[in-house]
Amino acid sequence: MLIALLISANSFSMKILQLNCSGLTKDLSKQLSRYVDDKHIEVVCLQETFAKDRSTSSKNWRPYLNPSSDGYGGVAIFVSPSVKSVPYEELKDPRLEAVWTRIQVAGKVTILGSVYIRPGQLGKVAILQNIISGINNHDQIIVNGDLNGHSQHWDSNFTQTKLDPARKIGVQIENLILQENLKLHNTGQYTFIHRRDGGKWALDLFLTRNIHVPTRWQSDHLTSLKSDHCPTILSVEEERDSYRKTKWDLKNTSWDIWSETIERAVASIISDESFLSKTPDEKCHVVQDLLKQRAEDVIPKKLVCEHSRAFFSKKLSDLHKEFRIDKKRFDFRSDEHNQNKLDQLRDKLNAEYEKESDNFWKEICQNTSTRDIWNTIKKITNQQKHIILQPLRNSDGSFEFDDENIASRLKSAHVVKDNIDTSRFI
């Protein structure tokens, strides 16, 4: 049953935290560490760290820093050891407070940027757009930060019509989103509370491109990390196969198309000389396979129900019906005989449940690679994921992210080279 519980989960998510921390002090670092553990954050993007050097402590997390030159500003990205990451210095521009890295999101290498634009810096959005426009259109991108721009597109409380510097930056960001085909994840919630007048604005943005898996953005108004900005979190879902039971949707099938499809298919195999030379049994198998293949193409399928158990069999269904009948009989007459009969049937039903469930998951595991099974087990049984193999640098300066290629290179470098007998490890 353990394997059934472990493999049955069908989605995982990576959570990316964005925060203008107004100074990365020791006290804030402790609070942030507890917050990251509680929320299971794997990537932390900070702005206004006020750090003047690269000595910021991050335990065993991988830090990517762009320190402040004047004691203000400064940006950083901290990546959990459970996430593959490498620096991306090619995008660095000294005119913009930003730090860039490449991480693996939903199985694909993704460019991640933490950006800070100070209030009134009108020319910085153009620099950011120049950087993004230089990135391949097919690459996955996640850009977040405190951009200090106002717009009704991401701030439901903003109603000002005056074209002040913050609104001008907002207009530039709107153009950036349109021209670079970016997706805005903010939903209108505020991310900043003014300490003097209590005004609530949305200044912190999450922008992405080519992220084709489900995402969820939120601004955490209930948590105060000693900053006038709220933590914002982007959860990126990693879709996995679902094992829900399906059946043919015969009501919504176009039988005219089915008839035409089968007529053409049967005509094609009958005219084939190799088919005519087969035995009757072989011909039956060929036609049977043909019908199954065309049914998969033409007849739609539907879930038995949203929360169906894929291992539910006809025997279980019959036992359920029998149990409901005996339950009604017991409710009508609660004597010892009916009680014993109901208890026996309940035990039989539970035993059949476990049997069918175990058989189903054994079949699933037999058709699933050992690597996928253990990756799933590790993710489900550990809140903090295991440290993984980080990308390897190639001779041309690029990085290798794929696990199998990394394992192959490590084997060739350390096992084959040293003539190690690996048979004893099998």
Q: Is the C-alpha dihedral spanning 66, 47, 21, 220 positive or negative?
A: negative
How many CB atoms lie under 10 A from the CB of residue 9? 11
The pLDDT tens digits for 203-231 are 999 999 999 888 889 998 888 788 899 99
Tokens of 281: 């049994």
Residues contacting 424, CB < 8 A, separation 6+:
none
> Where in the chain are the domains?
10-239, 246-303, 314-381, 392-425
Residue 82 in tokens: 């459970």
pLDDT of residue 5: 43
Which tokens sit at 4? Answer: 């059934």
From the CB of residue 62, how many other CB atoms can be counted at a distance below 10 Å?
A: 19
Superfamily assignment of 10-239 in CATH? Endonuclease/exonuclease/phosphatase (3.60.10.10)
Both tokens of 56, joined, read: 């910021």
Write out pLDDT tens, residues 254-294.
888 888 888 888 888 888 878 888 888 888 888 888 888 88
pTM over 0.85: no
Residue stretches of the chain with pLDDT short of 50? 1-11, 240-243, 306-307, 383-385, 417-418, 420-426
